[in-house]
Amino acid sequence: MTPFTTRVIDVIKSIPWGKVMTYGQIAARAGNPRGARQVARILHAMSRPYRLPWHRVVNAKGCISLREEGYQLQKNLLEEEGIRFKANGGIELALYLYDPQGEEMWED
């Protein structure tokens, strides 16, 4: 496992209940600001074995990137954590975005 992958897993695990982070935000915190797509691949491959709170990761617009059943499952899990969706299906990032200020941030 690469150091970046390990850091992405650590960042995702740190997202608290009722909050979300974006793919790009996670990538930047893990040391690669251009690694949002890598974060998506890591989530796909590592969510189950590492018990990641994958449902707390959304795109930069505050929307769920999954389709159909995956979309509905993620939306349900977020709603169970108290996150409310706007009429357009997005999340108000100003309310729900987790910004771990003061926590370690890596640079490659």
The CATH number for 65's domain is 1.10.10.10
Residues with Cβ within 8 Å of residue 13, at least 6 apart in sequence: 50, 52, 53
Helix (H) or strand (E) holding 4: helix 3-13
Tell me how many degrees the CA angle 88-45-92 measures, rounded to the nearest 5.
20
- Each residue's pLDDT tens digit, 60-84: 999 999 998 999 999 999 999 999 9
Indicate the number of domains in the chain. 1
Show the domain range for 45.
3-92
pTM of the model: 0.90
Residue 103 domain-assigned (yes or no): no
In the prediction, which pLDDT does 1 show?
87
